């Protein structure tokens, strides 16, 4: 598994920096549709979660206390963090 995981959710691109993630779980608590923990307690994308509520994903990414989650808008502009 790579250190940076990237996935498209609708118009948004979301990245998980798995080296920064420390497994607090705030993102998963807020929106468990796109995220889950791997066996080591680090966030990964949940398989088959291509269709999600985009605003919920943005809120979940904003909740990360260590800024491990990045969101880009359709123009490639970073909107989180």
Q: Do the bridges between strand 12-17 and strand 4-9 make them parallel or antiparallel, or are there none, so unpaired?
A: antiparallel
Burial class (CB in 10 A: 0-12, 13-18, 19+), 19: exposed
Please report where in the chains the tokens 């598994």 appear, as a residue.
1
Cβ proximity to ligand SF4, 22 vs 79, nearer residue: 22
Q: Which of 9, 14, 15, 27 binds ligand SF4 (CB under 6 A)?
A: 27
Binding segment for ligand SF4 (CB under 6 A), chosen from 5-13, 21-29, 51-59, 70-78, is 21-29
The footprint of ligand SF4 (CB under 6 A) covers 16, 21-28, 43, 63-64, 66, 68-69
């Amino acid at each position: 598994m790579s250190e940076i995981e990237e996935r498209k959710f609708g118009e948004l691109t979301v990245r998980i920096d798995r080296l920064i993630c420390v497994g607090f779980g705030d993102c998963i608590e807020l929106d468990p549709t796109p995220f889950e923990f791997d066996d080591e307690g680090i966030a990964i994308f949940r398989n088959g979660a291509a269709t999600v509520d985009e605003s919920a994903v943005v809120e979940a990414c904003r909740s990360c206390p260590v800024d491990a989650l990045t969101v880009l808008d359709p123009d490639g502009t970073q909107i989180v963090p």
